[in-house]
Structure 1
Amino acid sequence: MARIGAIFNPYTHGPDEFRDAVLAAEREGVPELWIWEDCFRTSAFAAAAAALAWTERLRIGIGIAPMPLRNVAATAMEIATVERLFPGRLLPGVGHGVLPWMGQVGARAASPLTLMREYVPALQGLLAGEQVDTAGRYVTLESVRLDYPPESAPFVYAAAEGPKTLRLSGEVADGTVLDSGHTADEVRAAVAAVRGARAESGRAGRHDVVAYVVTAFGSDAEARAVADVGDKPDPERRAVWGEPAEVADRLRAFFDAGVDDAVLLPASRVDVREFAAGAGEVARLVGADGGD
């Protein structure tokens, strides 16, 4: 079934506005609020724990936390702690990180693909309560097991954009996070690469695809949405806008392309409460439509 989420953007809103955004999302029935950890702004796991403590139903997605910044055992401990405190409400994701930023902190990986190939399976194993022993190029663990793994391990998402990373995410991760600014046709190709690689790897079970979609509600919605896409060709095909019913209708192209979860990225700076109201209505309309 198709799902809807919204994004708290750390570029247009500071941490002092986060609580208002979280409470608005809960109040307006937004199923998921996604955050990310860009250097050098806000911590993903601290923000996720706070948001979950303030709410009862809202799920928090982390899309993403950079793998090079944390030892995989530390990431597993963060996720496991939050998951045990708030079962079933965390959607944790990891990614390469922006390479220049990783260089600034002395954590840039010469081969981000190798890092992901080692890191994600180790993280999944730890969250499953397994003892993990591995000696890779970037991930080395010797008899490491969490004392308090989650009762049920959450999906581990990986951010992916290029063809090699898309395929690798399909092979090793439980879900993939696709960045905004893509047409539905481009998303369809990405989904095919992810799911094709998963099938070739022999992994069973579903792979959850999350796509960020630039979204604008209210006055001048089209102009704001198109401007947010930037100078890419056919910008009107890379965003959605209008009243909630129009947004829900335009999102159908992304769901038809194979997306499981369309996460609405506010175009420009907006009132977080107004955006949550629009996103909540879109979620109700998509749910009522059946999402297929």
Structure 2
Amino acid sequence: MTSLGAVFRPQSPPEQLREVALAAEAAGLDQLWLWEDCFLESGIASAAAALAWTERLKVGIGLLPVPLRNAAIASMELATLHRLFPGRFLPGLGHGVQSWMGQVGARAESPLTLLREHLDATRALLRGERVTTEGRYVRLDGVALDWPPAAPTPVFAGAKGPRTVRLSGAAADGTIFEASTTPADLRAGLRLIEEGRAEAGRSDDHHVLVYMTAVTGPDAERRLRAELALDGREMTPGLGAAGDAQTIAKAVEQLADAGADSVVLQPTADETDPVGFVRFVAQEVRPLVG
């Protein structure tokens, strides 16, 4: 069965997160995902709060930009949340939006190398290994976590371009595709993931998650087109969904049929009722998704 989630977008003020998380939990939503977009809201702080307010809900961060972090300290934070909330925390790493990274003096010459080094170091540290590495960006000397997670913990990678998607297959435990992904794009991405996994000799599970823009209510179609226009994708067929729960569930099923293990619905940036959105996803769309 495909897992269904929703995004709490950081365009909403952080003080709204508690109500949204509690509503998602009460409505039976599978996953709530947070973004660490610059310069809006923290991923770690927001995830910790949402997990503490709830008991069952899985909370993901998609994504934590690795140029902003030391691999050892980031792994320590991830391990702490895993131990505090076993089985409920879903971290994702990414190389960040390069213009934002440039604004804070953290733009890397090779974002792919940076992401690969962080993924390798983070996953090893979370497995409880002692890590010594002298990479281009990640340098650790005999570092081990005193409190690694008690059970295996997946680390996702955000991926868009072909090289990053292939890297995710090789070096991450799951891939997060952004909302500009059509079912055809996803099928092509899955082939790249498998190429990366084959090159790395991996045969373990790899979870594929796809964001999808979803809009309901009055003027839904216009709002969806306006949102897609921000990326110049308003004329792309098969992208996003606008309408009632049945219409949105059908679009979710198309991504699931293309290979998505989880589909996470994201509201438009102008959504004024994030609580109502997560209730709509959980109570009206979820029952229609197989």
Q: TM-score scaled to structure 1, two decimals?
A: 0.94
Q: How does 1:135-146 map to 2 (within 5 A)?
A: 135-146=134-145
Match of 2:273 in 1: 271
**2: CA distance, partners of 1:99 / 1:175:** 22
**Any idea what the Cα deviations from partners look like across 1:4-63, whole Å, max 9, x if unmatched?**
11001112x111211111111111111111011112211101110100010011111100
Quote the offset at 1:158 in angstroms: 0.6
Distance 1:74 1:284 in 2: 40
**Retained in 1: the 8 A contact 2:228–2:234?**
no
Helix, strand or coil at the partner of 1:143: strand
Partner of 2:2: 2
Distance 2:213 2:194 in 1: 24
What is the number of residues matched between the two proteins? 286
Are 2:29 and 2:281, in contact at CA under 8 Å, matched by a contact in 1? yes
Q: Letter of the 1:265 partner, please give it.
A: Q
Consecutive unaligned residues of structure 2, counting only runs of 5 or more, are none
What pairs up with 1:237-248 in 2 under 5 angstroms? 237-248=238-249
Distance 1:17 1:236 in 2: 33
Partner SS, residue 114 of structure 1:
helix
Note the aligned Cα RMSD (angstroms). Answer: 1.3
Structure-2 residue corresponding to 1:200: 199
Contact map agreement 2:24 2:57 (CA 8 A) in 1: yes
Q: Distance in 2 between matches of 1:60 and 1:117?
A: 24
Structure 1 stretch 166-175 or stretch 232-241: which is displaced more? 232-241
Structure 2 contact 226–234 (Cα < 8 Å) conserved: no
SS in 2 for 1:237: coil
Aligned to 2:20: 21
Unaligned 5+ residue runs, structure 1? none
Report 1:163-174 matches (<5 A): 163-174=162-173
Question: Which residue is equivalent to 1:283?
Answer: 286
Equivalent residue of 2:260, what SS? coil
For 2:189 and 2:56, locate their aligned partners in 1 and report how far apart those are by CA, in whole Å. Answer: 31
Q: Deviating runs (4+, > 4 A) in structure 1?
A: none
Deviation at 1:177, TM superposition (A): 0.7
Matched-pair identity in %:
48
User: Could you state the TM-score of these two structures normalised by the residue count of structure 2?
Assistant: 0.95
After TM superposition, the structure 1 = structure 2 runs for residues 90-101 of structure 1, keeping only pairs within 5 Å, are: 90-101=89-100
